[in-house]
Structure 1
């Protein structure tokens, strides 16, 4: 489907953690006995460390349970800047792609009821599906191996069931079913359609009455439309600080139903997750399938029939299962992890991009695995003051770096492939070769070498005019994905934007138009600055300011840019 303007896919990026025996202290309440009062923060041994992360930008909530007992229920930051309401473990968040675990559970419940089989063909279950995916099986959709990639439409645009079916019928397969894997929002939309066809009830009705219903009550609901999740809502905030979608979209919601439409509190998500893995929702066989590795994706990871990712014991010392969701234009990020050997659930939700739930988990995972004291973010060495250094600097290779200090928040912005490469070198699992391959796929997409690429070009030209050129503008790693920036020329007008694509060239996310990539900076001593990234997972660069020049120190060596204005 064409992807225009701000369309961020509901991604499936997973961070997993495991807690040691000493990491969590005694709890304040239990599921069975909530007690007479629920303090805003009851987080025992983990509280002081999480408090420190809250002071450097984490805004959201945390729920950790052991054996069904909540040992940590905590909230940080504002849930809504306008009202001043605070985040708590009982604040409602959009859970994004974590919805897929609930859709998978509904499918497995229908399997338990012998109303369908995992090996049933989709075209048999839903005769209206006549496109290439009709020959795929339910199992392949659950495991992202059907070949159906991408989404059926922009996340928060009204879309009917018939519209979703038409979109699915128009999607090409990235590979023959069962021969590879590609993460697919459209695949889980199709599973929601299967649920309707087999159950004879609407996807939303079946989800609420059969999958969200526990002895404790019905947990959660939907972010947009009805039945809505009950409780005070967190307002999400996007990268530029503007509020995200508030959950008031009218009309039908098939663009996200099945793949990203649910909402609930961290307490509720933790309660439901334990119920799923301890056999309260499904048969013993299906409960095993929720956690068991079913399709290997490498590095000790595998997709499960529960729509999640299983990590084997070699990765962190204990087997783990988890799922995360974020991105989109709501501004929330949520992760849920199950550690079976400890009967433990960890849920973190966030409503601001400064320090997302997944980033916080990434920063604390090593200590949580070993049971050591949680790390806390280091404070800047001094007060940031780059007013005298503000201006434009040019590299010898032609790219420019603009230094500014809006609201006394030093920021450096890169323009040009060389400038972006200098400021955002690949790190961790990302490599220069990986960046180049991603750029090739993005350029092939925008050259119209696939059906999706041709549709994207047509959509862009409807909005901006005829495309006359596409030029690469650099690649960065952000939020667990590669984003290649391009400048698209439409006659006399040029528009900058970025695309994230999968290994088959299918669009995962796009923002067009967008601002150039930028880094906020903090002082680390003298004239030296580092990225304002308390987790330490961002670009590995140091910026040093001198007389009319700046030096960027990178793993590949230093680069000098000289002031031009």
Structure 2
């Protein structure tokens, strides 16, 4: 799957029509028709696609700011989240070329002030998430300076002996950023901006969402589930809770141009391109971890490709970029609303895009206003409930209680009911303080909420590509709902406390029935029927009936 830079005759930067103000929107009419259909189905964001160094599509859809009726454009800037790791990996490989770092260097040799078991892990293991590091140095927007980040990472457990397993770890890439700063003699942000963000034509591909150097250009407002807006980029820092693992921001035009430059050997040497492109650590199912990317063979989507994705649940953005070496095609997408995320859209249209075939489009819901579902609270015999609200022909159902959540959100995709149960146990172990990280998390919660008298499960869902277990925390101020996503070793990957109850938007499916408003087909497989004061939820495990409260 390697990409040999010496064999390409690509342009330095993918061609696009530009003006003094930047790139001009342009898109093959067939692609634009398909993406317009996806925009009607809920996609809001920007798309950049190039093939062999020429752009096939630069387009934007939906709203960048509902309050001001500002549309997304090809100049709109998005937070790219964990896609930042691809840039950090490229920076490390650049330093390897200069002889300042070796892939098999123990990180403690490069950072003598680092203590603990993590000091023995190698740069290569950090790049491939095989170090065994479990956890994060801090929550995303927690003020964390360099010394505090080093101390927090030194205090993290190794889930397994380094090099013997795989565990995705944000802390590993934060540690790589600390290495970059140490060996380059410049700050991580300065070095990344001057060396790796700079494109072959001299432009700089974006910048940072929070702090400086900031990504220039108009920014999309991020919208979270429930309609609230995310962070606007005013977090003052220090930013070491995210530097290296997240935090970069740019347009999809710049993201596509940078990806093209990377894989065609215009940012790093051919040996480094090969290190990024070749399978690194086998993940199974035709996928393997490479530095900053995941490589997939032809068994996954029909053609080999590399991809990386990221999102920030506190900002409300989602970004994904894929490189198809056979056609030298780049697909970069970013979104700012949860209806159809960039990742879900690429998962749906990616096989056709990478193969150069016509794109699938969503099926519209049945015409008409749909049945008049009775809004209100529906109660289950087991104690759970559904709160149903309506707007036009769309209804929103909020689930409270394990029985209600279990019926409305059955496992989706490759996730099984057993995996839900195992995840529940890991979350309870965390919040009961049965692990070292759990004791730290419990202490952090009690700093914010006061003493926690109890923790009960409130249901588990599969959402945005991760399993999330909802819990009810009993504090002096009353019950507080939150959710946790933890990895197989019990480390926190994401969390939101406090938060609302899990909700599902539904659209008419004919007759008295509704189905999820889920054009990509990645959500729960359920049908909801309203009749005679009853709400019936049908799914893979059977039916659940709730009665309208009097």
Q: TM-score range by the shorter chain?
A: over 0.9
Instruction: Select 1:196's aligned residue among 176, 181, 186.
Output: 181
How far apart are residue 157 of structure 1 and its match? Answer: 2.7
1:243 aligns with 2:226: no
How far apart are residue 415 of structure 1 and its match? Answer: 1.4
User: Are the counterparts in 2 of residues 386 and 410 from structure 1 also a CA contact under 8 Å?
Assistant: no
User: Are the counterparts in 1 of residues 131 and 163 from structure 2 also a CA contact under 8 Å?
Assistant: yes
Pairs within 5 Å for 1:391-410: 391-405=376-390, 409-410=394-395
1:260 aligns with 2:265: no
Per-residue displacement from partner, 1:401-425 (whole Å, max 9, x unpaired)?
Answer: 2222257641112111111111001
Report the equivalent of 2:215.
Answer: 229
Instruction: Select 1:99's aligned residue among 61, 84, 91.
Output: 84
- 109-118 or 452-461: which moved more? 452-461
1:503 aligns with 2:488: yes
Report the equivalent of 2:531.
Answer: 546
Report the equivalent of 2:6.
Answer: none
Report the equivalent of 1:158.
Answer: 143
2 CA distance for matches of 1:353 and 1:424?
17
- 83-92 or 544-553: which moved more? 83-92
User: Are the counterparts in 1 of residues 293 and 308 from structure 2 also a CA contact under 8 Å?
Assistant: yes
User: Are the counterparts in 2 of residues 483 and 498 from structure 1 also a CA contact under 8 Å?
Assistant: yes
Structure 1 residues 497, 386: closer, same or farther in 2, change over 3 A? farther
User: Are the counterparts in 1 of residues 394 and 508 from structure 2 also a CA contact under 8 Å?
Assistant: no
How far apart are residue 149 of structure 1 and its match? Answer: 2.2
Report the equivalent of 1:556.
Answer: 541
1:285 aligns with 2:271: yes
Question: Any unmatched runs of 5+ in structure 1?
Answer: 1-29
Report the equivalent of 1:12.
Answer: none
Structure 1 residues 282, 403: closer, same or farther in 2, change over 3 A? same
Instruction: Give 3-state SS (helix, strand or coil) of 2:521's partner.
Output: coil
How far apart are residue 468 of structure 1 and its match? Answer: 2.2
Question: Any unmatched runs of 5+ in structure 2?
Answer: 1-12
Instruction: Provide the aligned C-alpha RMSD in A.
Output: 1.8
Per-residue displacement from partner, 1:141-167 (whole Å, max 9, x unpaired)?
Answer: 001111112221121232211121121
2 CA distance for matches of 1:372 and 1:290?
27
Instruction: Give 3-state SS (helix, strand or coil) of 2:452's partner.
Output: coil
User: Are the counterparts in 2 of residues 155 and 328 from structure 1 also a CA contact under 8 Å?
Assistant: no
Number of aligned residues: 535
Structure 1 residues 553, 33: closer, same or farther in 2, change over 3 A? closer
User: Are the counterparts in 1 of residues 324 and 354 from structure 2 also a CA contact under 8 Å?
Assistant: no
1 CA distance for matches of 2:103 and 2:19?
46
Instruction: Select 2:440's aligned residue among 433, 436, 455.
Output: 455
1:130 aligns with 2:115: yes
How far apart are residue 364 of structure 1 and its match? Answer: 1.8
Pairs within 5 Å for 1:53-92: 53-92=38-77
Higher RCO structure, 1 or 2 (CA under 8 Å, sep 6+) = 1
How far apart are residue 363 of structure 1 and its match? Answer: 2.3
Pairs within 5 Å for 1:38-437: 39-217=24-202, 218-305=204-291, 307-368=292-353, 371-384=356-369, 389-405=374-390, 409-437=394-422
How far apart are residue 72 of structure 1 and its match? Answer: 0.5
How far apart are residue 496 of structure 1 and its match? Answer: 1.4
What is the TM-score with the length of structure 1 in the denominator? 0.91
2 CA distance for matches of 1:136 and 1:209?
28
1:34 aligns with 2:17: yes
1 CA distance for matches of 2:310 and 2:45?
14
Structure 1 residues 33, 400: closer, same or farther in 2, change over 3 A? closer
1 CA distance for matches of 2:167 and 2:19?
48
Structure 1 residues 77, 498: closer, same or farther in 2, change over 3 A? same
2 CA distance for matches of 1:258 and 1:150?
15
- 296-305 or 357-366: which moved more? 357-366
Per-residue displacement from partner, 1:262-308 (whole Å, max 9, x unpaired)?
Answer: 11111111011011111111121111001111101111111102x11
User: Are the counterparts in 2 of residues 421 and 474 from structure 1 also a CA contact under 8 Å?
Assistant: yes
Instruction: Select 2:512's aligned residue among 505, 524, 527.
Output: 527
Instruction: Give 3-state SS (helix, strand or coil) of 1:393's partner.
Output: strand
User: Are the counterparts in 1 of residues 373 and 530 from structure 2 also a CA contact under 8 Å?
Assistant: no
What is the TM-score with the length of structure 2 in the denominator? 0.94
